[in-house]
Structure 1
Amino acid sequence: MAKHPLATEITAAEESLAGYRWAAVGTDVRAPVVLIHGYGEHARRHAALGKAASAAGHDLWSFDLPGHGVSPGARAVIRGYSEPIAAAKRTLRRAANIGGSLPILMGHSMGGAIALRLALEEPELMRSLALSSPFLIDAVPRPKFQLSAAKVIARVLPGLQVAKPDETKISRDPKEVERYRTDPLNHHGGVPAVTGVTLHAEGEDLLAHAADLKVDTLIVHGTADGYASIEGSRRLAASNPRVRLIEIEGGYHELHHDPPETGVPDAVRQHFLDWFGR
């Protein structure tokens, strides 16, 4: 497995996932943060937040999901959220043991949905929840017949790639789009059938249970997100008074990779740092 200067090993199920820790700097150590990255990418794409959190006194822990980054597993195949949740729980416990306080759980995109699932199931493991562009509703509406066909395909050929996301919708910054396209650790093919079915089914179920969320939650989401519809975040916020939603007008899916001159990356990072420091 490729190593990273900040890497630790995080074990989930019977596999070893690549894990990372941006250690808190200084003596004013605050609550640790555990971050779950999104579909098709890897944890080190969130290094800027890791460094900012570290400078603010937070340990930030993350890991490459199964089949993502340098972790083992069929590429981008997510058969459910149980294995990612197992890895997140291990990381939360490790972060709490080392940091000495209850961690904040954060998730981006699909990682946001995974984090929300864990918050609903075991809220006692976290101090609060932070979601970046959570994938709860697909920004591209799928006809019912297409969803039904995908379920059949997922049972027979779960790894079959049925649709390729438009990578230009990642960011409004062409340079960031190019970085995404040329990053060999990202998944650049189509979405495996079983992954697409999982994303859709989990999103529907999470929204159906939004009122049950017992963890204070911050969501930051762009209004022009072409992957994860902001309507999912709006529904979540409308269903539960514990949820605060900040909308970024015109923002794409990766707000942290918006053009620097817009001020959006700095503003979004500060929103999360302020939340971490509550």
Structure 2
Amino acid sequence: MSNGVITSDFTLAGHAGTIVGTSWRLERPRWIAVLVHGYGEHVGRYGWVAARLNEAGASVYAADHAGHGRSDGERVLIRDFEPVVEDVDRVLDHALEQDPGLPVALIGHSMGGMIAARSTQRFGARLAATVLTGPVLGRWETIEELLALPSIPHTPIDPDTLSRDPEVGAAYAADPLVWHGDFKRPTLQAFHDEMQRITIVGHVGRSPLLHLHGEDDRLVPLETSAAGLAKIAGTATESRTYPGARHEILNEINRGEVMADVLAFLARYLPVETGGRRGA
């Protein structure tokens, strides 16, 4: 424990076995942030994000998805994203058991942005606001191209697509909890099906939702994500993009600016302490 932050791990019964998470709890939080990580990664990569959210008055909770990080399940195998969305709702239940009565923000990145968007469609009444960073929405041409092939070729994520900060890519490449192998066909099909489902269900109504995206995102291109966002945008949906930024905008060289924008948006719906800080 330091500066009133208590960091600990937790486990929950998920749809495919045990899911393992981390909480960064404050002694006297004013709100809750639930982080939803992306494909092939894990919540341990979000330490600095959690620290900044702690400074803004939030207790933070996050869990590795099934087949990711320290959680059970065959690596990166997801046959249907709806049970994963329900796992995230279990994390929300856990957070509210630990810090009852507080408003909740959901913050999802990439695949986690897709999951967070669907969570907002399904469970938006439980959320004060949602933030999507580089979300997989609408359609992802990479998936369509791979599904059309008779066999999936070698498809590891290129660390250089993540950030202009070379240390981010180097740390990602050296991380043993990150998946460095190929996509699996059932997971690709599940991505495709979930994006279609989100588009069909449509707008998130009055649920506050912020979409943030790097303009030089070569992994999840801005254009298709923005088109997908347009299908679900509600009356309190906002969007901002960052010139030159790549996929992981919360790990980009302008990460302080991005986080300041996140907190400024959330401050309209939650008791956020923004502090006027824009540095990393």
Give the equivalent residue in structure 1 for 2:37: 37
Please say which of residues 91-100 and 216-225 is displaced more in the overlay: 91-100
Question: How do residues 13-52 of structure 1 correspond to structure 2 at under 5 angstroms?
Answer: 13=15, 15-24=17-26, 27=28, 29-52=29-52
CA contact (8 A) 1:161 1:193 kept: no
TM-score of the two chains, using structure 1 as the length reference: 0.85
The alignment covers a number of residue pairs equal to 259
1:67 counterpart SS class? coil
**Identity %, equivalent residues:** 26
Question: How do residues 65-76 of structure 1 correspond to structure 2 at under 5 angstroms?
Answer: 65-76=65-76
Segments of 5+ residues of structure 2 without an aligned counterpart are: 1-5, 269-280
- Hey, what's the Cα distance between the residues in 1 that align with 2:71 and 2:229? 33
Give the equivalent residue in structure 2 for 1:210: 202
Q: Aligned-pair distance for 1:236?
A: 4.3
- Hey, what's the Cα distance between the residues in 1 that align with 2:204 and 2:267? 25
- Hey, what's the Cα distance between the residues in 1 that align with 2:46 and 2:249? 11
* Counterpart residue identity of residue 198, structure 2: L
Q: Aligned-pair distance for 1:174?
A: 1.8
Question: How do residues 167-182 of structure 1 correspond to structure 2 at under 5 angstroms?
Answer: 167-182=159-174
The reply on whether 1:8 has 2:2 as its aligned counterpart is no
- Hey, what's the Cα distance between the residues in 1 that align with 2:163 and 2:177? 18
TM-score of the two chains, using structure 2 as the length reference: 0.84
* Counterpart residue identity of residue 21, structure 1: S
The reply on whether 1:185 has 2:187 as its aligned counterpart is no
Question: How do residues 121-270 of structure 1 correspond to structure 2 at under 5 angstroms?
Answer: 121-136=122-137, 137-138=139-140, 140=142, 142-143=144-145, 146-149=146-149, 163-239=155-231, 240=233, 241-259=235-253, 264-270=254-260
Please say which of residues 242-251 and 180-189 is displaced more in the overlay: 242-251
Larger relative helix fraction: 1
Q: Aligned-pair distance for 1:249?
A: 1.0
Q: Aligned-pair distance for 1:162?
A: 5.8
Segments of 5+ residues of structure 1 without an aligned counterpart are: 154-159
- Hey, what's the Cα distance between the residues in 1 that align with 2:216 and 2:147? 24
Please say which of residues 246-255 and 90-99 is displaced more in the overlay: 90-99
